[in-house]
């Protein structure tokens, strides 16, 4: 999958879990600093992303996904 | 006789099987609306449960709360928050030092839907499907914590747990803390939402629930000779309690006074009430003494009256022993069913409004009074000028709580 295909799906998950408008979920945004998403919500987003995109996001990888772009890149590299 | 250290009620909030707000619930009580309906959930048939009736909320909390907030809360936290926001707005969103503000919200069972639902997910779908907020959603201080976090109650957040007396006990503790000078304001009450196969199975196994499945409307019939158990309901009731001097200084509207509280324990049996009403009467006696009132001042009792064969008789003896045969007695649960840890709080609001309006809502579904019950049960709305009224609540574990309300 390409980054352009992944972003809207990830944005949907972020909106569902954290109530952040899909339009605000853009690659340069930091989950914690810009979107005000706490660590528990990040776990929930990761679980949903795993299901949606068929990837594994181990906890030590999750810790490195600071921005929406980081997450999109990770999913693009690891999705089957 | 009022004094500045009195504890007054400046806001009310409720969501119940008969109304989505406190005023709607009070009006429904006066109208005699019944919240008991057939329970068509598939698990009733699946497990062959003998009870196919319940009293679900009139208004779903998810219709009131923002979606993302609701999904992070157990249903018992959701109803607590709905009632708390109403009570806080109703009090005029008081400007108060957060360190002088408390939240005391009890529950009988707590986040049972989360506990049982997430265990199901663990067993069927595995670890990854278990919600990350499982623990804060299932913990019994969850409703208190949700309310305290929202209102910023830095003075203290507490969660008394005494089964079906929890909501009343929460008000008693909030009263005590305000009286002691620790708080100026507290949001206080109870919340419950545990209509689920396991609680229903457990209460059924105790033979505590009504099985009048063919006539849900008349299943909850406290004091009637043919009563056969309680009907499980859900809901929340929360009040804004405030030191009178604080309320007066900010020009708040005052509904009435929580004039006294009393608590005791039967220490008799884990579930059965002490049959002579001695334990409950000690709680009422303490409440009267703390209010500086005597039995003759009490014109009305909003009874716990769950519609169980044993409990209602024991309570009638409690009332006779502690107060006498003069108060006009009503049983709110004839309309709402039994909201467990929320019931005492919702009934406290009904007691407060009965004193304010000088009217006692009738107990519904009393077709033939139980001859063993010698108290004055109002079976229709009764207009009575009231100086003071008592609300009593009892919980498994022998807990007895009595609250005394007087006018503004």
Q: B132 to chain A, minimum CA–CA distance in Å?
A: 6
Instruction: Give how far A55 is from chain B: nearest CA, Å.
Output: 13
Q: SS3 for B180?
A: coil
Over residues B370-393, the mean pLDDT reads: 98
**B329 within 8 A of B382, measured Cβ to Cβ:** no
Phi, psi of A25 (to 5 degrees): -90, 85
Place of tokens 């909320």: B57
Q: Residue B264 belongs to what H/E stretch?
A: strand B256-265
Q: Per residue in A26-45, pLDDT tens?
A: 999 999 999 999 999 999 99
From chain A, pick out residues whose CB is under 8 angstroms from the CB of B69: 19
Q: Count how many Cα atoms sit within 13 Å of the Cα of residue B382 in the half-sphere of its side chain.
A: 22
Task: Tell if the CB–CB gap between B68 and A47 is shorter than 8 Å.
Answer: no
pLDDT digits (tens, 9 = 90+) for B262-304: 999 999 999 999 989 999 999 999 999 999 999 999 999 999 9
- pLDDT single digits (tens) B134-157: 999 999 999 999 999 999 999 999
The vertex-B349 CA angle with B155 and B164, nearest 5°, equals 80
Residue of B nearest to A58 (CA): B128
Going by pLDDT thresholds of 50, 70 and 90, the confidence category of residue B309 is very high
Q: Supply the Cα-derived Rg of chain A in whole angstroms.
A: 11
pLDDT tens, B242-263? 999 999 999 999 999 999 999 9
**B196: confidence class by pLDDT, cuts 50, 70, 90:** very high
Q: List the single best residue of B68, B121, B133, B137 to mutate versus A (max A Cβ within 10 A).
A: B68
Q: What is chain B's mean pLDDT, rounded? A: 97
Could you give the angle at which helices B166-179 and B343-357 cross, rounded to 10 degrees?
70
Residue B229 predicted with pLDDT over 90: yes
Burial class (CB in 10 A: 0-12, 13-18, 19+), A32: middle
Q: Which residues of B are catalytic?
A: 164, 304, 338
- Locate tokens 């119940």: which residue? B16
ipTM of the complex: 0.85
CA distance B126 to B87: 40
Asked whether the predicted pLDDT for residue A75 surpasses 80, the reply is yes
Residue A19 three-state SS: coil
pLDDT of B285:
98
pLDDT of residue A53: 95
Residue of B nearest to A40 (CA): B132
Q: What is the pLDDT of residues B86-109, one digit of tens each?
A: 999 999 999 999 999 999 999 999
C-alpha distances in Å from residue B211, one per residue of A38, A56, B160: 46, 50, 30
Q: Is the pLDDT of residue B1 over 60?
A: no
Nearest-CA distance A62 → chain B (Å): 15
pLDDT recorded at residue B264: 98
Q: How confident is the model at residue B160 (pLDDT cuts 50, 70, 90)?
A: very high
Mean pLDDT over B179-186 rounds to 97
DSSP B2: -
Domain ranges of chain B: 7-406
Q: Residue B56's closest CA among B38, B44, B42, B70? A: B38
Looking at residue A79, what is its pLDDT? 83
pLDDT band at residue B330, thresholds of 50, 70 and 90? very high
Interval B339-359 mean pLDDT: 98
Q: What is the pLDDT of residue B5?
A: 85
Instruction: Assign B4 a pLDDT band (cuts: 50, 70, 90).
Output: confident
* Residue A80 reports pLDDT greater than 70: no
Class of CATH domain B7-406: alpha beta
| Phi, then psi, of B233 in degrees rounded to 5 | -115, -175
Measure Cα distances from B105 to A2, B24, B170, B184 in Å.
Answer: 50, 22, 6, 17
User: In Å, what is the CA distance from B15 to each residue of B61, B82, B155, B306, B387?
Assistant: 8, 7, 26, 19, 27
* Other CB atoms within 10 Å distance of the CB of residue B63: 10
- In angstroms, the CA B281 to CA B277 distance is 6
Helix (H), strand (E) at residue B102: strand B101-106
| Contact partners, residue B300, CB within 8 Å, separation at least 6 | B327, B328, B329, B330, B351, B354, B355, B360, B384, B386, B389, B390
pLDDT reading at A56 higher than 60: yes
Residues of chain A above pLDDT 70, percent: 99
Q: Does A54 touch chain B (CB under 8 A)?
A: no
What pLDDT, on the 0 to 100 scale, is given for residue B2?
59
A5 Cβ neighbours under 8 A, 6+ residues apart: none
């Amino acid at each position: 999958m390409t980054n352009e295909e992944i972003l809207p799906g990830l944005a949907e998950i972020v909106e569902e879990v954290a109530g952040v408008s899909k339009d605000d979920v853009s690659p340069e945004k930091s989950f914690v600093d810009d979107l005000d998403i706490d660590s528990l919500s990040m776990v929930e987003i990761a679980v949903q992303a795993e299901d949606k995109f068929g990837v594994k996001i181990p906890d030590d990888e999750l810790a490195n996904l600071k921005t929406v772009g980081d997450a999109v890149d990770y999913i693009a590299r690891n999705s089957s | 006789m009022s004094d500045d250290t009195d504890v007054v009620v400046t806001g009310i909030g409720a969501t119940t099987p008969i109304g989505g707000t406190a005023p709607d619930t009070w009006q429904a009580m006066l109208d005699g609306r019944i919240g008991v309906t057939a329970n068509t959930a598939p698990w009733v048939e699946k497990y062959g449960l003998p009870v196919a009736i319940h009293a679900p909320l009139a208004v779903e909390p998810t219709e009131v709360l923002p979606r993302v907030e609701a999904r992070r809360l157990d249903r018992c936290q959701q109803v607590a928050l709905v009632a708390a926001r109403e009570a806080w707005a109703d009090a005029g969103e008081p400007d108060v030092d957060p360190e002088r503000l408390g939240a005391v919200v009890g529950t009988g069972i707590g986040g049972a839907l989360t506990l049982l639902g997430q265990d199901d997910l663990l067993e069927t779908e595995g670890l990854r499907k278990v919600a990350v907020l499982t623990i804060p959603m299932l913990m019994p201080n969850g409703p208190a914590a949700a309310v305290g976090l929202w209102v910023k109650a830095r003075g203290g957040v507490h969660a008394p747990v005494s089964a079906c007396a929890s909501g009343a006990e929460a008000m008693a503790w909030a009263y005590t803390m305000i009286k002691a000078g620790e708080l100026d304001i507290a949001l206080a009450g109870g919340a419950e939402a545990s209509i689920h196969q396991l609680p229903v199975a457990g209460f059924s196994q105790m033979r505590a629930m009504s099985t009048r499945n063919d006539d849900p409307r008349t299943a909850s019939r406290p004091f009637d000779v043919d009563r056969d158990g309680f009907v499980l309901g859900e809901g929340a009731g929360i009040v804004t309690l405030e030191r009178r001097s604080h309320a007066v200084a900010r020009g708040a509207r005052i509904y009435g006074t929580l004039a006294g509280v009393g608590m005791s324990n039967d220490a008799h049996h884990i579930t059965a009430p002490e049959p002579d009403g001695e334990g409950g009467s000690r709680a009422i006696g303490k409440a009267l003494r703390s209010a500086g009132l005597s039995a003759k001042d009490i014109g009305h009792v909003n009874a716990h009256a769950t519609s169980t064969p044993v409990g209602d008789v024991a309570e009638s003896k409690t009332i006779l022993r502690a107060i006498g045969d003069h108060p006009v007695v009503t049983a709110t649960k004839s309309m709402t069913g039994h909201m467990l840890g929320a019931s005492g709080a919702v009934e406290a609001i009904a007691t407060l409004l009965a004193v304010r309006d000088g009217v006692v809502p009738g107990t519904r579904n009393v077709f033939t009074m139980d001859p063993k019950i010698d108290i004055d049960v109002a079976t229709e709305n009764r207009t009575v000028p009231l100086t003071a009224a008592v609300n009593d609540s009892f919980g498994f574990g022998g807990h007895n709580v009595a609250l005394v309300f007087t006018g503004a």
